[in-house]
Amino acid sequence: MKVAIITFPGSNCDYDCWHAVRLVGGEPIYVDHRATDLGRVDAVILPGGFSYGDYLRAGAIASRAPIMRAVRAFAAEGGPVLGICNGFQILCEAGFLPGALVRNRGLKFRSRWVHLRIESADPPFFRAYRPGQVVRWPIAHGEGCYVAPPEELARLEAEGRVVLRYCDPTGRRTAASNPNGSLHDIAGIRNERGNVVGMMPHPERAVETLLGSVEGLGVFASLSEATDTTMASAGGSHG
């Protein structure tokens, strides 16, 4: 599994993603935001951080970086694309995913561990989990409140495109378990095809016991399994 990790000015979780991919036996490569080609890769990760200092809006400038044209073409061919935190913001700003991430409720930066309920195991990033499973991953964001028009929220719900929700340790959705005010307690969504996923929590920071949890490793293990299956049926990498 060869995974492109896109780096922007201000990315700070690129090495964390690199390490997580290596833990599941993958081959991570860094791809600069100024590049115009991904090369032959099996998946793309847009990591967390503060691309371009979060000027204008978080992810707004990065969404127009040259490399995003190649990422768009890759996604259009069915290639798996994962956006984590700032990467989720970029995917929304670029129109890969609906809605937007705005300032947290209370206007404070939130950096802590949260509980999340896996809503769907269908996308390539969640095959190691089961629907309804509760995991514990960290968050670290100032603009993580997911919003969308009522009709778009209804569509996401009807099509089963919400993949993660904030919850308490038992899986119940409560006001206290939602750290940023996201509508419908949404922590992650996917596109219609299921190959593009954006999430605010950081699974790459929950891949070793020393870090406090290994419950995020399944995201990268799922990706490895999905790309291995795709490569076996297609006979090679995307590119």
Residues 91 and 52: beta-carbon distance below 8 Å: no
- Report the 3 state secondary structure along 49-77: ECHHHHCCCCCCCHHHCCHHHHHHHHHHC
202 is catalytic: yes
192 is catalytic: no
- Paired residues of 184 in beta bridges: none
Catalytic residue chosen out of the listed positions 119, 204, 215, 238: 204
- Paired residues of 83 in beta bridges: 46, 198
19 is catalytic: no
Catalytic residue chosen out of the listed positions 13, 85, 92, 167: 85
Please tell me the distance from the alpha carbon of residue 211 to that of residue 150, in angstroms, as a whole number. Answer: 38
Q: Which tokens in the block code for residue 102? A: 């705005």
Catalytic residue chosen out of the listed positions 92, 202, 215, 238: 202
**Residues carrying an active site annotation:** 85, 202, 204
